[in-house]
Structure formats: structure tokens, C-alpha cells
Chain A
Amino acid sequence: MSCCATAVGATLVAEAAGQGLPPSEELWLASRALGNGLRQTDLSVPGVHCGACITTLETALRARPEVELARVNLSSRRVSIIWQEEVAGKRSDPRELVRAIGERGYEAHLFTPGEEEGDVLLTQLIRAVAVSGFAAANIMLLSVSVWSGANAATRDLFHWISAMIAGPALIYAGRFFYQSAWNALRHGRTNMDVPIALAVTLSYGMSLYETIGHGEHAWFDASVTLLFFLLIGRTLDHMMRGRARSAISGLARLSPRGATILNSDGSREYRATSEIEAGERLMIAAGERIPVDGRVVSGTSDLDRAVVNGESAPVSVGAGDTVEAGTLNLTGPLVLEATASARNSFLAEIMALMEAAEGGRARYRRIADRAARYYSPVVHLLALLTFIGWMIIEGDVRHAMLIAVAVLIITCPCALGLAVPVVQVVAAGRLFQGGVMVKDGSAIERIAEIDAVLLDKTGTLTVGRPQLVNAAEIAPDALAMAAALAVHSRHPIATAIQDAAARVSPLEAEIREIPGAGIEAKTSGGVYRLGSRNFATGEPGSGSGQSEAVLSLDRRELACFRFEDRLRPATARAIDQIGEMGLTVGILSGDRKSVVQALAKQLEITNWKGELSPRDKVQICADASDSGRRALMVGDGINDAPALRAAHVSMAPATAADVGRQAADFVFMHQPLIAVPFAIETSRRAGRLIRQNFALAIAYNLIAVPIAILGYATPLVAAIAMSTSSLIVVANALRLAGTDSANAFGGREPSPVPQPSGGER
């Protein structure tokens, strides 16, 4: 039980903090109001995996005063927290909750809103499975007595009881098939549900007729068992269906709701983003997102443009520079003149691109749907031909009808209905254990047929945040002092210094941040400065000004911190594995060409492109599919979101922008990029199993159908044939969970991640 508790150490805290917490506003928006001043937040915590994790997390959260209830769900790796909006008159900060989780060594992510909402249809389906299972078991019990030789009166009694159980069960549990079949027929189509509805209804009607006439054979057990198996398939299939995704609404949420307008007479007013017109002047405080495209009129600051164009380093801006909507103002206040209204701004352009981008998702027809298109006409035709054939030979309507019903029941796509969803559910479970979330079943089918992998750079190949690389050379005192200064800034480099320092002690000083330069602290011992070399020491800065920070005391250099946007762990190995699978790898980045080139060289990738706009990325994905190639796009930023939708299949890290997470088919929760080859490999194996299952189902039909057509299929034979074929298909699907992956990563968490490890799951 203590496997997790021991693994929690100081390094984990730093690592978890380095992940970057979602901002308070986003957490606040993502929480649900429950009334009475309570709110509920659901977080995805991929690291929990045993009882000790549950206790650790729940105890840590309940220790916080605002938390009413915290409950970990181990199956879905989520924690739901109910907290008070105000404690003792103070507004609570949901970020504190995430930090409390982080301090215990677990990563926490927000997951796509809407994903967790109660699924009404799923509950209905499970109830239908339960009812049909109950009916099937009882009727089967009675049927066994009939088959083992119950005599005339007893047999009739058993048939009548079966009929009375089966009737309501068919209406309650079969309604899904009837509704869907009716829908299809009304629009002049047929689907898999038409033969199902027909077989179930005909067999019930025919059996009732036989029972009334004291007949020997009744098919009540077959029709209810059929329904039971099919409903299992349907329920699993429903679990794998992609839910409607609202990536665009996620993007709309990211654009700020409004901004303070400076009127020409000097008065200020706060107006909604949609009402801001070009030419107006806006005040943007540090920490706010810029609502519309504009030009800086006065003020200097650093802008975080990572989500907009994938550029890793913040950019200093001053009067006259243009800024895009969606960028985050980091350090100083700015006055902007809007150059476009919200409708014509960068974010609106992305939304339009996303609406237009029609990816593989829309065009792709699922394997099961494709099979159904050929299957159901064949089945109908076969039953009809059997009926006509027996009419010609014998001329007995009742007998011909009985045999036609037997054909319908035997050919009913039980095994076929289970063939795909069982494999996909098992594959999704396996992927989930490896830290990859699948949004819908067709993604597993699509990722198995790709021939190229396109990777974004910032946030995908790299962690997307600068990390201190020369911590070993720096005196602990200097680091502590730098951290004490750094807590006063939102700049990513300041955050990186805080992460590197073990603890931050408060500083008695007059501290101010100089936008675009650094932080200054006047203490009794002198003036400390942390920032660019020019600012700190007065010497001219070197060329790569963004990747270093200097700490000085009265302009004397105390320490020089160097930063690098670190590669995700095990990236090179992941790329090797993708290459071994026979896939080509390419980098698509919005960052400067020199940076992309250096990274591509390091990873030995020859196919790279830099300085791409979101439109260019979509174009590359669209060109690939036009030339018949299928690409997997892996990306995280807003600038990647249209491309994630345009590509055949897409993947995003859990740290991605909200839009990126929603646009992608797969979301991987652990840091290493090895999740990409892992997802591809598991999906390919799932694809092989699906094809095997189809072959098994067809082989079963080749044997069983002639028996049925020739009139040898009694209810006993049908019951045995149907159950065996379904069981074989399920057993074949379960092989995916049982065998170990050839991929070294397997289903386990990769070791470089400082996740609590150990404990068999």
C-alpha cells in the first residue's frame, strides 16, 4: 500500500510545478456551480493507480479549508472536488487545489468539458442489457427443459411462460433496434438493424403461432439471446462512439470576454470583445490575453505567443509593434489600438479554418458501417430465397416460414456486431493504461492506416517551457535570491527559476518589474537585478538574449542562468520507433527556421518546415490527403488546431491548449512522446484482430447458413451456434489485453517520468 507515499519527494514537486498549472480563470470557468456557493471541479490525474494514491490525494485535498468533498475515481483516473466559492469572506482560488495535488507528486489536467457529462443513452443501454440478460437466462432455463424432453402439456406451459417473459423484454430492450431500423426504412435505406429487427420480430411471431398450435419448436430463447448479445455489442460500440466535440466553442472561450476601452475624452469603459471596433484604444494589463489584433501605442511588455504561432521564447514588444489576438501579455501594461474587430481577428480566422477543415474524421466510414452495407441486403435476399425455394419444393407456407426465420436468426450479425466494438474497447482500455485517451473508436481504425507522422515542435517535441540547464554551476545562495525575485514575474524564465529552486523565501525589499527587461529589488544590501545581461550588468547582451538571465548585485554579475526548451523525455527513441514502423516523420512548426533546423538536426529528421502559419499547416495536411497519403498530426497549440482537424487522425498532449485537446482524436497524458508509437502499434494490432474477427464471423456463416437453408437448424442448434461464434469473437478480442506489446514501452508507464511507480495494475 505504501508504494506511492514513498515515491513522493521534493523533485516531484518541482517537476509537477514545471508542468504549469492551468490559470485560475480557466479552472473557475471549467468548474460547475452546484448552488449554495459550492462548485465542483473535475480533474484528470493520470498518475493515480492504487489505494495509497487515493488516500494521499483525498487527505491532501480535504485538509484544505474550502474543500467540502474530494473523491478519487481510480477507474477513470479522475478526482472530483466540491469546494466553496468563499471561505471566511475570501474568494477561493481553484489553482490552490491543483497545487495541492501537484505537491503530492501528481500531475493534474483539466479535461475536455462535456466529456464527463452523464451519458443518458449509455445508462439506458445498460439497463436494456440487464433486462434482456434476465429474460434470456430464464427462457433458456425453460428451453433446456424442453430440449431434454418435456412432454406435450409441460412443453406448452413452458412455451407460454417463455412467450410472456420474451414479449415485454423484446419491447423494452429491442426498442433501440426497432427505432433505428424504422428510421433507416423511412428514409429508404437499410442498415444492420433492419435484419435484426426483422429476425427478432419474425421469430417471436412465428414462435407464438407455433405455441398456439401446440408446435414442437419455439424460438423464444433464440430471439431474446440474440437481443442480449447484440445489445452488449451495441453498448460497447456506443462507449466507443465519438461524442460531438465543440472545439470551436473552446476557442471562443479562450478569447477574452472583453477589454477596457480608452475613449477619446479620456474616460474608460469595459466592453465585450464583440463590440470592439478597429481604431479604438484598449488597455491591456499584465496577465491578460489580447482580445483583438492591434498595434501597440504605448508601453513595453513581453508577449507569450506560444499558443498562437508555436514560438517558444516570449517576444518583447514596444510602441509600433503589431500584436495578434489570443497572445498573453506577460509583464507590463500596454495601450493598443485595435486594427481589426474581433470578427476579423486572428482567433476568428482560426475558427473559420477549423470549420472549413474537414478531416479524415468526417470522410471516414467505420469498418462496421462498411460491412453492414454489404451484409444486410445479402441476409435479406438469402432468407427470401430460402422461403421461395421451400415454397417451390414443398408448398407448405408454415414450414417454409420456419426455415426462413431460422436462416435470419443464424445469419444475424451477432458475431459481426461484437467483432469491432469488443476489440476497440479492449484496445482503448489498454491505451488508457498506457496514458493515452481515445476520443472515439474510429480513431483506432484510422491511426492504424497512416503512412506519415507530422509533429509540431513547441509543446509537442519539446516540453514547451524553458528549463534551467546549468543549475549545477550556480551557487545555492544565488539561486535562492533569483527565485525570491522571480516570484514577482509571470515571465516563463522567471517561472523556470522558481521551479529550479527548492524553496522560495520572501524578500524584504522594494521590488518592481521592468517590462521587457527584468526585475529589480532595492534591499539594504544593495540593488539586485534579474533579467537580460544588458539590464542586469549594463554590458551589451549576447545574441541569444532570450535563453539566459543574469542576476546582479549593484551591476556586478552574481550568476548567469541558461535555459533551454527541453525535449520531451525519450523523444529520440519514439522517433526511431516510428521510423521502424515504416512511417515517415516530419516537423511542422511555426517557430523560426533556425530553431527548427537545429532541432531537426539533433533528431535526424530531414523533412522539416518552419515559420508556418496555421493556414500553411492545414494546407500541408490537406495536400497529403489529396495525394492519397494519410497523416497523423501531433500538435498542441491553437495554431495546430485546424491542422489537427484537417489531418487523417490527430494526437495532442494533455498539456495542450484546450482547443488542441478537443480537436485531437487521441490525448496522451504522460510526458514522453513514446505514447505516439505506442498508440500506433496498439491500434495496428487492434486492426489485425478486427480483421481476424470478421474472418471468423464469415467462416461461421459459411458453415451455419447451409445447415439453416437445408432446414436442419433447430432452436437448439441455433442457440449453440450463435453463442459459440460470439464467444470465439470475444475471446479473440481479449488476446489484445493479454499479450505483451512488442514495443518496449508496453502498457506501463515509462520510467523517465517521475510518476509514482510500482504496484501492479
Chain B
Amino acid sequence: MNTLVYLIPIALVLGGLGLVAFLWALKSGQYEDLEGASWRVLDEDDGRPQT
């Protein structure tokens, strides 16, 4: 029972982190072009983001 006091908040915080990470990724447009992203990985460019 005592361990639950730590474990449950840890579980919730970890889950919450995942949720926040997803919302952030969504907001910064990383889901706009999933198909393109899988190809850009193979691109031989210098890897600097285009400005």
C-alpha cells in the first residue's frame, strides 16, 4: 500500500509528460507531413533546418 503512494503519482506524471509532448508536437506542426518526413530522413543535405 505504501509503495502505491509513490507509484501512482509517478505513473500519472509519466503519462502526463507523454500527453504534453504530443500536444507540443501537434502544435509545432510535426504531424503536417508524415509521409514527407520519412523521406527527408534519407536526404543527404547538411541537415540544417531551412530558414
A-to-B contact residues, CB < 8 Å: 1, 50-51, 54-55, 69, 71-76, 123, 126-127, 130-131, 134, 137-138, 141, 153-154, 157, 161, 165
**Interface pairs (30), CB distance under 8 Å:** A1-B42, A50-B39, A51-B42, A54-B36, A54-B39, A54-B43, A55-B43, A69-B50, A71-B50, A72-B36, A73-B33, A73-B36, A74-B33, A74-B36, A75-B32, A75-B33, A75-B34, A75-B35, A75-B36, A123-B26, A126-B26, A127-B26, A130-B22, A130-B23, A130-B26, A134-B15, A138-B11, A141-B11, A161-B8, A165-B12
B50 contact set on A, CB distance < 8 A: 69, 71
A-B pairs with beta carbons under 8 A, tally: 52
- If over half of A's interface residues share one DSSP class (helix, strand or loop), that class is named, otherwise mixed; here it is helix
A161 contact set on B, CB distance < 8 A: 8
Which B1-49 residues have a C-beta within 8 angstroms of A?
1, 4, 8, 11-12, 15-16, 18-19, 22-23, 26, 32-36, 39-40, 42-43
Given contacts A71-B50, A126-B26, contact A134 B36 (CB under 8 A): no
B22 contact set on A, CB distance < 8 A: 130
Do residues B36 and A137 form an inter-chain contact, with CB atoms below 8 A? no
Q: How far is the CA of A632 from the CA of B22 in the complex (A)?
A: 42
A157 contact set on B, CB distance < 8 A: 4
Q: Taking the nearest CB of chain B, how far is it from the CB of A82, in angstroms? A: 11
Q: How far is the CA of A72 from the CA of B33 in the complex (A)?
A: 9
Q: Taking the nearest CB of chain A, how far is it from the CB of B41, in angstroms? A: 9
Q: How far is the CA of A55 from the CA of B1 in the complex (A)?
A: 58
Partner of B4, one of A51, A76, A154: A154
Do residues A134 and B19 form an inter-chain contact, with CB atoms below 8 A? yes
Chain B interface bracket (under 10, 10 to 19, 20 to 34, 35 or more): 20 to 34
Do residues A138 and B12 form an inter-chain contact, with CB atoms below 8 A? yes
Closest 5 CB pairs of A and B: A51-B39, A74-B36, A74-B35, A134-B19, A73-B33
A76 contact set on B, CB distance < 8 A: 33
Do residues A130 and B19 form an inter-chain contact, with CB atoms below 8 A? yes
List the A residue with the shortest CB-CB distance to B18. A134
A141 contact set on B, CB distance < 8 A: 11
Q: Taking the nearest CB of chain B, how far is it from the CB of A120, in angstroms? A: 13
Which residue, of B23, B35, B42, has the highest number of chain A Cβ atoms within 10 A?
Answer: B35
Q: How far is the CA of A73 from the CA of B22 in the complex (A)?
A: 21
Do residues A154 and B1 form an inter-chain contact, with CB atoms below 8 A? yes
Q: Taking the nearest CB of chain B, how far is it from the CB of A50, in angstroms? A: 6
List the A residue with the shortest CB-CB distance to B27. A123
Q: How far is the CA of A669 from the CA of B8 in the complex (A)?
A: 53
Do residues A54 and B19 form an inter-chain contact, with CB atoms below 8 A? no
Q: Taking the nearest CB of chain A, how far is it from the CB of B44, in angstroms? A: 8
Do residues B23 and A127 form an inter-chain contact, with CB atoms below 8 A? yes
B36 contact set on A, CB distance < 8 A: 54, 72-75
Q: How far is the CA of A71 from the CA of B36 in the complex (A)?
A: 10
Do residues A134 and B16 form an inter-chain contact, with CB atoms below 8 A? yes
Q: How far is the CA of A134 from the CA of B50 in the complex (A)?
A: 34
A54 contact set on B, CB distance < 8 A: 36, 39-40, 43
A75 contact set on B, CB distance < 8 A: 32-36
B35 contact set on A, CB distance < 8 A: 74-75
Besides the contacts A71-B50, A73-B33, A154-B1, what 14 more A-B pairs have beta carbons closer than 8 Å?
A: A50-B39, A74-B35, A74-B36, A75-B32, A75-B36, A123-B26, A127-B23, A130-B22, A130-B23, A131-B19, A134-B16, A134-B18, A138-B11, A153-B1
